[in-house]
Amino acid sequence: MTIQEFFRIFGCIMIVIYLFFGLDDLIWYIWSILSVHFGKDREGRLELSFEELRDTPPKMLAVCIAAWHEDNVILDVITNFLNTTDYPKSMYHLFIGVYPNDPSTIEAVEEAGRRYPNVHAVINCIDGPTTKAQNINHVIREIKKFEAANGIRFASLTVHDSEDAIHTYELLTTNYLIDKHDALQFPVFPILEMPTFRNFFKQLTTATYADEFAENHFTILVQRRDMGAFVPCAGTGFALSRRVLESFGDEPALPSESLTEDYLLSLNLYKKGVSLYYVLNKLPRVLPNGKIKIDFITTRSLFPSTFKAAVRQKTRWTYGITMQSIGIRDIFTKEKISLAGRYSFYKDIKSKFLNLLPILGYILAIYVIIAAILHLDPFYTKGSVIYYMSVIVFIIMCLRQITRGYALYSVYGLRSVFFGCLLPPLFPIRLLYGNIINFAAVVRAFMMQIGLRHGKKNEPKKGEDQNEDQKEGQGEDQREDQKEDHKNEKKKTAKWAKTDHDFLSRDQLRQYRRMLGDVLIVQKLITAAQFRDALNKVDKEHGQQIGTYLIENGIITEEQMLRALGHVKHIQFIPDEIVEKLDYDETAGKYDPDMLREKKLLPLTDEHGTMIIAVCNDTSDKDLKDFEESNHLQIKRMYMMEEYMMNAISLLGKKRDQLESLALYHKGCLSYEQVILVGKFASMKKVPEKSMREMMGIMK
């Protein structure tokens, strides 16, 4: 057999395989389009209403991060999360799972805990690294103890990675959706610099992640959700409702034996009839130039920037998903799984084989180019069956690039489409390089599987896997946990191949923060044109604030401004109907009422050495600072309308009705912010305060 005959046969086989998989994807795409147009559930395709998010009573939420050797980033991650999340700080807690043999990370988390009372270091009962699943399972057990000790009830648990930039409105959205869905998955999009020719090769590896995640999380996961197919968990940015967590009883929620515990968890839930709801929702935001951009409520994350790190991470994904979690038997399982669900199982299984094909196709393409240069006989005769099959494959390939380009445009913009899909046309560099990474990862995963089947140990590499010695617990509960962890660890076939992380600089993080214009526009209080016009007219020379200008010109009211500022600065706004029901006489009564009126501030209470003071839009920072320094106080602000502040000062010493929850505050059972929230939403929903506390998970 000549080389030409070999490549002709090889080419025929490749064309048939490409055509089969191409038509398979085309059928899936058409099916998904029909599901979108004729499906019943259209909630995920609509923009969220910020009013609905804001007016949903906030429930107690738990957030978990598993950390191993993350001392260089974890404090920045925590600080950014707490300073940007638009959710009452008293209504969520952040639990960081750390290991006893990682003192640097423990110290960083405990430092955060000293700054923020809702941050907690959860030290594992055994040395690390274990699997990520074991770490999170241990955190879940400790969260249950935390609930019992503090008389609260978390409505959900959200899991994030230690390098995530978490969206400002994620917890607001979780709070709104978790009553409707048992499990949520938010999109995950890699953080990518604006691509240029100068940085093209510098961020080439990370850009391949951006291409793939844009396609998967903008298009494919939406298709799966709309078709009722299996939506896999992404490992970060997902939330489990209390109903799901309680369904596991005393059993671990996440399967510790898998390297992709997230995928296996979502697979097990799907088989039980619990679908992961994919949250591709969006809210408008204003750019620095005043233009409006549709912004997805998504997790932004840093991904590997080198070939070696990318291959290592994708090897773990390939092995954990297609070799540990799912197999051919799942397609034909006797469980009540829809046709779309079984089809999605098949697509996940075939991915490991599909990632091998492009490299073989490139070898064939190289031969075709060489044959054309050397004027050899045509590869296939024009008009033959295999010729037309090749044309169809080419058309399908172009369609695939168009759909990827649209996803890239929707997530990253037009410039990313050029660098991702059109540089050069037909065979873009990023696509070729990404296929090489995926090929290497699949080959390595197969080698790992073969090695494990033959009883060979995967020797951990420095910085990747570490030796996992067991550690004796310090107490009865820890010993019980340790027994469970030992039992789970024995089942493991591979260890946590952790990716080393960095975090964003302050300048990079600034683009993800929400400013006053964002909140005003997202609440539809002003238009983008009005905001741009106000920015141009505000008297900056004399220090006029944009909020003051908007109020003085009748564009928005004082209440609207204070509510918006509350969302931007994460400061509680006290509604008018709550003001007169507060017990502030003892604290405010220590000061001259005329001075309080002049400075436009109202001391409310002393909470653990910090005085909570109500301020209005016209309260000057200088007056507040003078009051703080002259009285040697540490101050925490809350917003209040000026009219009601003046009225509250006039009621000092007079008998009036008070919020029922204040009694629990004085006993140390609730925070002052929680008292305000309970009173506000009990009044809004017209229910007793006790019922509202139960609804919010404040059980005391």
Contact 604, 672 (CB under 8 A): yes
The phi and psi torsions of 432 (rounded to 5 degrees) equal -60, -45
Q: Which residues contact 698 (CB under 8 A, 6 or more apart)?
A: 60, 151, 152, 670, 674, 678
Q: What is the mean pLDDT of residues 204-210?
A: 96
The residue ranges of every structural domain in the chain are: 22-359+431-490, 515-570
With bands split at pLDDT 50, 70 and 90, how would you rate the model's confidence at 463?
A: very low
Give the residue, 372 or 697, on which the prediction is more confident. 697
3-class SS of residue 669:
coil
> Residue for token digits 């024009």?
382
pLDDT in tens, 13-29: 999 999 998 888 888 87
Residue 203, token pair as written in the block: 């961020």
Q: Is residue 202 over pLDDT 60?
A: yes
Rg (CA), the chain: 29
Q: What's the confidence (pLDDT) of residue 456? A: 58
pLDDT tens digits, one per residue of 98-132: 999 999 999 999 999 999 999 999 999 999 888 88
Give yes or no for a contact between 678 and 152, defined as CB atoms under 8 angstroms apart.
no
pLDDT band at 143 (very low <50, low <70, confident <90, very high): very high
Distance (Å, whole) CA 104 – CA 684: 46
Mean pLDDT along residues 569-587:
92
Secondary element (H or E) of residue 488? helix 476-490
Residue 75 to residue 111: CA distance in whole angstroms: 8
- pLDDT at 495 (0 to 100): 53
606 pLDDT higher than 50: yes
**Res. 487: pLDDT tops 70:** no
State which H helix or E strand residue 146 sits in: helix 132-150
pLDDT in tens, 385-416: 988 998 999 898 888 899 999 999 999 999 99
Q: Please tell me the predicted confidence (pLDDT) of residue 498.
A: 55
Q: What is the pLDDT of residue 579?
A: 92
By the 8 A CB rule, do 689 and 678 touch? yes
Mean pLDDT, to the nearest integer, of 547-568?
90
Distances (CA, A) of 109 to 310, 411, 559: 28, 33, 37
> So what's the pLDDT on residue 500?
53
Question: Residue 334's pLDDT is what?
Answer: 78
Residue 505 has a pLDDT of 57
Beta bridge partners of 567: none
- Mean pLDDT for 89-94 is 96
Mean pLDDT of 229-235: 93
**Which helix or strand (DSSP H or E) is residue 266 part of?**
helix 261-271
**Residues with Cβ < 8 Å from 297, sequence gap 6 or more?**
48, 167, 169, 170, 173, 186, 187, 279, 281, 282, 283
62 pLDDT higher than 90: yes
Q: How confident is the model at residue 512 (pLDDT cuts 50, 70, 90)?
A: low
Task: Give pLDDT, residue 478.
Answer: 41
State how far the alpha carbon of 18 is from the alpha carbons of 29, 65, 406, 428, 442, in Å.
Answer: 16, 41, 23, 19, 18
Specify the pLDDT at position 425. Answer: 84
Q: How much is the average pLDDT of 659-686?
A: 94
Superfamily (CATH) of domain 22-359+431-490: Spore Coat Polysaccharide Biosynthesis Protein SpsA; Chain A (3.90.550.10)
Mean pLDDT, residues 680-686 taken together: 94
Question: Looking at residue 479, what is its pLDDT?
Answer: 39
Q: Is the pLDDT of residue 469 over 60?
A: no
What whole-number distance in Å separates Cα of residue 275 and Cα of residue 266? 8
